[in-house]
Copies of this chain bind each other. A is one copy, B any other.
Amino acid sequence: MGCDGTDAILVEKLRERGQRVTSQRLVIHRTLSVRDRHLTAEQVLVEVSEGLPGISLPTVYATLELFEQLGLVRRVATGGGALLFDSRTSPHAHAVCRDCGTVTDVEISEANARALSHAGDSDFQVDHAEVVIWGRCASCAPSADN
Contact = CB atoms under 8 A, between A and B. Distances in A.
Interface in A96-146: 97-98, 104, 106-109, 112, 115-116, 119-120, 123-138, 141
Given A112-B112, A124-B136, 5 more contacts: A95-B120, A112-B116, A120-B133, A125-B136, A126-B135
Interface of A: 75-80, 83, 93, 95, 97-98, 104, 106-109, 112, 115-116, 119-120, 123-138, 141
Nearest to A84: B79
A129 B128 contact: no
11 contacts: A77-B78, A97-B124, A106-B119, A109-B115, A116-B133, A123-B137, A124-B136, A124-B137, A125-B135, A128-B134, A128-B135
A62 B98 CA distance: 18
Contact of A120 (B107, B116, B128): B107
Chain B CB within 10 Å — which of A80, A124, A126 has the most?
Answer: A124
